[in-house]
Chain A
Amino acid sequence: MATQLNPPASISLGDFGILESVSKCLAPKLEELRGKKIMFSSDDKSLVPVDGWGTKCQSCATVTTIRPIRENTMVAAIDSSSIKLAETEEGGLYAIKCGVAMAYDGAALMHFKIGPMLFYLSESTIYDSELDDRLARLVIADGDVARRLIRVRAERAIQFELAGHLRNSIILVDGSLRASVFEDRERSIGKIAENCVLYRNHLAGISKHTKLKVLERAATPLVNVPGPAYLEVDIIIKSLVKGTVGNNLMARLGSNTPVLRIDVVGDTDRALGRLLGNDPIAHGYPETLRLAHHISTFTSTEVTCLRCHVLNSYGVTELAADDIRRTLLGSIMV
């Protein structure tokens, strides 16, 4: 006869030493929180304090005001978005949409909607490209990396062409001007910047949010300036980030509007002055970039249509899918 084990009457975490172990895994240091100014976080949002952190200015950087230059100039803003549309056993199918919005003499001129376009990234397609072997493996393994690759490549292609075809214009890019491992060598941000200089174009990369906390503190002097202004943060950025291009600034493009990180290739004062003079700025953000963002985002209808297109055009068989998280965790829906 098999020995029958009776369950213990009660189990305490103390018996295993778990509580002590967890409390000592990292020093909580909660006493240091006392008296601090606090802003609660939200996972999916980039939040900034409305009136800044209110810390005293420790930076000795000079704040330069930006004066709009009413000199007719074409402003072209580029943005893109990519989604993972489907998966196969060997890879993933991605879709990209790009938007180019143009303004001139203070008014929106036209916009170009490019896409959606599809890219199938699998082992065979990636290894045929000139991507580094390790990077190729990463792209296959991680969908987010693959999406980024497609975005960077597509955006750089557009930026490169605009830089080579426009003259004496401003090219606006969403995000910082920084070399990426995903770039095509022929259409790198460096080459784009070179073309801009060659054809007397200004290139500006505008970031809505920066992960570098130090930049927020460095931008504190801008809070006290009522109108558009900037201060240079080259030293901070170049010491923290490799591969950035142009002058690095923290700037405010309107009155009492959010402070943005802006990287500029070319004469900063002229670039920002002509930007203010030719692109409508609403809530401190260029209207062309806002428009480019809106026209490049995928709508749910487009995603549905893309799925129909794939099913109709490539002889694929759709497999039933299941949300694994929902299956495993979904018994209690909150």
Chain B
Amino acid sequence: MKILSKSGNELLLLAMKDDSAVKGDYMLIEDRGKSMVVQVYDEEYLSSQSLIEDIVKEEVVNASSAENLHDPLNIGSLSRLVRDARIFKAKIRAAVTDGRLTSDVTWLPSRVESKVRKLAMKELDGLLGRTGVYPIPLGRAGDEDFEIFAEDLDGKLTIITGKKESGKSHLSKLLVKTLVQHGAFVVVFDLNNEYGGLRWNRDGTPSPVHDRVTVLEPGKALQFSLDYCGKAAVAGMLKNALDMPTASMREFFRIWDWLENKRTLNIEAIGNAVNTWNINELVRDALVSRYHVIQSSRLFADAGGFKFEEAMKGHGAAMIINMGEVSGTVRRMTVELVISKIVDLLERKAIPPIFLVAEEAHLYIRETYWEDIVTRMRHFGVYTTFVTNQPDAISDGIYRQVDNIFLFNFTNDSDLDKISRVSLVDSDTVRSIVRTLPQRQCLAIGRAVCELPVVVKIAPAQVLALGETRKFFKK
């Protein structure tokens, strides 16, 4: 491979038939003791008008009559080599100085003298000094095994995005499983009731995290006592999930305080109080309607109920909140209660920091709330991973704070536009690589890969796949 030209931070590399590289591969350009790391992001034919004319002419001639060649110098094979020559478009990522990567790329390698070779992932990791204690094996990058480290997700905001069935949930499950194996606590808002499969291997045997995965269905295994939730969490739920007006909220607080003082705070007592309380009839109507929604959601139990502290006593746990079969209102109520309670517990340092995985978050919570989680709650110890097939459903405010992005295939131009504008690497790389990613391959960008984008083929799932689309026509 040889350098052909440079424009900005882009190098064009001339490759002959036997030179192999795929999009995402890293190349090391060595020239008189200096080295430069570049990443291939696109591949084209070496093309000139005359070459195209040659090819067209030959095809037309061969289509019109059978060809017999007498080529004593074997120039035809050389000619075929030229026609098969390719141009690799590569972005300059870093220079190597004293065995470490630096961004100081102020020199130009020689087109004649420089040697271009493929950079192995292990070699790149060595240059980056990318190590960690808690590895998360993701699959393969090129021909090598590839892993990130749980430390790079810890305290970070991560986005997993890609079009439908590109493999987002597959990666997300892999991350959840490995985080739990490393002793982390993960709460998953599961829209398709698919994360429950983490408890089982594909062959039906219990998975390594079988005992550490709890599936919680709102109104069934997921019920809270009013005492446990507290006034603030319930108020948040009424305001954000049930759109309770301020005047009604005020009356509700009075009722709550009165019942709390009487030590008779429970759902039934609230219902009775709402009906008998001396208030404006419109306020009563507002309270009654909300009361019925709360009652029908069965999210509150008078005694017992789910307690996060108890679920987080062991060494790592995943709390899967199955929201696939509950109504939108109950979904919003559940998320409000869960997040408020978790933040409350984190503020009191009653639980360790947690990882929160939110599938299609825009479907059950308003945008501003997520921004609040990302900016404020991160300091309490809520580390969010958004999984979505709609990159435009996540606001620019969130993208600006993102630490890691796992980009799966997108072919839609508007999605590519959005993601290339907000991602952490240049738009050429994103557009070219993401558009052609096969299923279950992603472009990992950000802290987890030390800011050098890597194309990763995600390892096949070991756990049971649930949540697949039900189909009418069975194969």
Same complex for A and B? Answer: yes
Q: Which residues of A contact B79 (CB under 8 A)?
A: 299, 301-302, 305
B67–A309 CB distance below 8 A: no
CA distance A233 to B368 in the complex (A): 94
Question: Is A304 positioned at the interface, with any CB of B under 8 Å from its CB?
Answer: yes
Of A110, A115, A304, A306, which is within 8 A of B67 by CB? A110
B84 to chain A, nearest CB (A): 11
Asked whether A101 is an interface residue with its Cβ less than 8 Å from the other chain, the reply is yes
Closest to A101 in B: B65
Contacts of B83 in A (CB 8 A): 301
* Whole-angstrom distance between the Cβ of A295 and the nearest chain B Cβ: 6
Confirm or deny: B71 has a beta carbon within 8 angstroms of a beta carbon on chain A: yes
Known: A301-B51, A304-B82. A111 touches B68 (CB 8 A): yes
Which residue on A lies nearest to B83, using beta carbons?
A: A301
Q: Which of A101-141 contact B (CB under 8 A)?
A: 101-102, 108-118
Main secondary structure of the interface of B (DSSP, over half): helix
- Give the one of A117, A299, A308 with max B CB within 10 A: A299
Nearest opposing residue in chain A for B78, CB measure = A305
Interchain CB contact under 8 A, A294 and B75: no
Given contacts A291-B64, A302-B79, contact A116 B54 (CB under 8 A): no
Q: Decide yes or no whether A224 CB sits under 8 A from chain B.
A: no
Q: Is A327 an interface residue (CB 8 A)?
A: no
Determine the chain A residues whose CB is within 8 A of the CB of B66 once the complex forms.
109-111
The reply to whether the CB of B33 lies closer than 8 angstroms to some CB of chain A is no
Interface size class of A (residues with CB under 8 A): 20 to 34
The answer to whether A115 and B71 have CB atoms under 8 Å apart is yes
Kindly state the separation between the CA atoms of A60 and B61 in the bound complex, as whole angstroms. Answer: 42
CB distance from B378 to the nearest CB of A (A): 59
A300 adjacent to chain B (CB < 8 Å): yes
Known: A116-B73, A306-B75, A309-B73. A300 touches B51 (CB 8 A): yes
Asked if A301 contacts B82 (CB within 8 A), the reply is yes
- Tell me the smallest distance from the CB of B359 to a CB of chain A, in Å: 54
Interface residues of B in 14-73 (CB under 8 A from A): 48, 50-51, 53-54, 57, 61, 64-73
**Interface contact B67-A113, CB-CB below 8 Å:** yes
Cβ A117 vs Cβ B50 within 8 A: no
Q: Which of A294, A300, A309 contacts B50 (CB 8 A)?
A: A300
The reply to whether B73 and A301 form a contact with Cβ atoms under 8 Å apart is no
Chain B residues closer than 8 Å to A113, beta-carbon distance: 67-71
54-109 of chain B: CB within 8 A of chain A: 54, 57, 61, 64-73, 75, 78-79, 81-83
Partner of A117, one of B54, B61, B65, B72: B72
Q: Judging by beta carbons under 8 Å apart, are A305 and B82 in contact?
A: yes
Instruction: From the candidates A108, A114, A304, A305, name the one contacting B64 in the complex (CB within 8 A).
Output: A108
Q: Which of A45-94 contact B (CB under 8 A)?
A: none
For window 241-259 of chain A, which residues contact chain B by CB distance below 8 Å? none
Give chain A interface residues in 276-323, CB to chain B under 8 Å: 287, 291, 294-295, 299-302, 304-306, 308-309
Residues in A neighbouring B70, C-beta threshold 8 A: 112-115
* Chain B residues near A109 (CB-CB < 8 A): 65-66
- A-chain residues with CB within 8 Å of residue B48 when the two chains form the complex: 300
Which residues of B lie under 8 Å from residue A299 when comparing CB positions?
50, 53-54, 57, 79
Please measure, in the bound complex, the distance between the C-alpha atom of A302 and the C-alpha atom of B81, giving whole angstroms. 11
Q: Do A294 and B57 touch (CB < 8 A)?
A: yes
Q: How many Å from the CB of A278 to the closest CB on chain B?
A: 14
* Contact assessment for B73 and A291 in the assembled complex, using a CB-CB cutoff below 8 Å: no
With contacts A294-B57, A304-B82, A305-B82 taken as known, whether A117 is within 8 angstroms of B68 at the C-beta atoms is no
Residues from chain A with a CB closer than 8 A to the CB of B51 are: 300-301
Taking the closest CB of chain A, its distance from the CB of B216, in whole angstroms, is 67
Task: Return B208 CB to nearest CB of chain A, in Å.
Answer: 58
Q: Please name all residues of chain B whose beta carbon is closer than 8 Å to the beta carbon of A294 when the two chains form the complex.
A: 57, 61
Residues of A contacting B71 in the complex (Cβ-Cβ under 8 angstroms) = 113, 115-116
- Partner of B54 from A111, A114, A300 at Cβ < 8 Å: A300
What is the bound-complex CA distance between A101 and B68, given in angstroms? 10
Closest chain B residue to A288, Cβ basis: B65
Minimum distance in angstroms from B412 CB to a CB of chain A:
39
Q: In the complex, A295 Cα to B66 Cα: how many Å? A: 12
CB distance from B52 to the nearest CB of A (A): 10
How distant is the Cα of A13 from the Cα of B133 in the complex, in angstroms? 92
Cα A110 to Cα B54 in complex, Å, equals 19
Could you tell me the distance between the alpha carbons of A115 and B64 in the complex, rounded to whole angstroms? 20
Given the interface pairs A300-B51, A301-B54, A304-B82, the reply to whether A110 lies near B75 with Cβ below 8 Å is: no
Q: How far is the CB of B98 from chain A (nearest CB, A)?
A: 38
Interface flags, B385-400, vs A, CB<8A=1, else 0:
0000000000000000
Contact assessment for A302 and B68 in the assembled complex, using a CB-CB cutoff below 8 Å = no
Contacts of A111 in B (CB 8 A): 61, 65-68
The docked-state distance in angstroms from the alpha carbon of A118 to that of B73 is: 8
- Can you list the 3 inter-chain pairs with the closest CB atoms, starting with the nearest? A305-B78, A108-B65, A299-B54
- Known interface pairs A101-B65, A102-B65, A304-B82; 14 further A-B residue pairs with C-beta atoms within 8 A, sorted by A's residue number: A108-B65, A109-B66, A111-B67, A111-B68, A112-B69, A113-B67, A116-B73, A117-B73, A118-B73, A301-B54, A305-B79, A306-B75, A308-B78, A309-B78
Between-chain CB contacts (< 8 Å), 9 pairs: A110-B66, A112-B68, A113-B70, A115-B70, A116-B71, A117-B73, A300-B48, A301-B50, A301-B82
